């Protein structure tokens, strides 16, 4: 029997984006929250790594937010070739 209630505030855009993903997965927000809580209980912690980004990563995020140093490629093949993969 489910009787506990969770109330949380979040950004409307974040909520809408997450609920769009849930719909594609065929689950409700409540089911997603229960899934998350079950994984926390099972793992005795968050089910994904949470890390503070290093200086290079923070700088990259800041540049991306400003629209700097962005690159576009016509295909994945071209991207991988450019990356040397």
Q: Are 59 and 53 in contact (CB under 8 A)?
A: no
> Domain boundaries in the chain?
1-50, 51-85
Q: What is the pLDDT of residues 57-70, one digit of tens each?
A: 999 999 999 999 99
CA distance linking residue 71 with residue 78, whole number of Å: 12
Q: How much is the pLDDT for 75?
A: 94
Q: How much is the pLDDT for 1?
A: 74
Q: Say what the pTM is.
A: 0.62
Averaged over successive runs of 10 residues, the pLDDT of the chain (85 residues) comes to: 89 96 96 97 96 94 94 93 91
Number of C-beta neighbours around residue 36 at 10 A: 13
Q: How much is the pLDDT for 3?
A: 86
Strand, coil or helix: what is 46? coil
Q: Is 1-50 CATH 3.40.50.720?
A: no
């Amino acid at each position: 029997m489910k009787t506990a209630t969770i109330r949380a505030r979040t950004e409307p855009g974040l909520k809408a984006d997450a609920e769009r993903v849930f719909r594609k997965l065929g689950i409700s927000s409540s089911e997603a929250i229960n899934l998350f809580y079950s994984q926390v209980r099972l793992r005795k912690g968050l089910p994904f790594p949470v890390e503070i980004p290093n200086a290079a990563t923070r700088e990259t995020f800041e540049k991306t937010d400003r629209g700097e140093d962005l690159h576009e490629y016509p295909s994945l093949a071209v991207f991988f070739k450019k990356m040397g993969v």
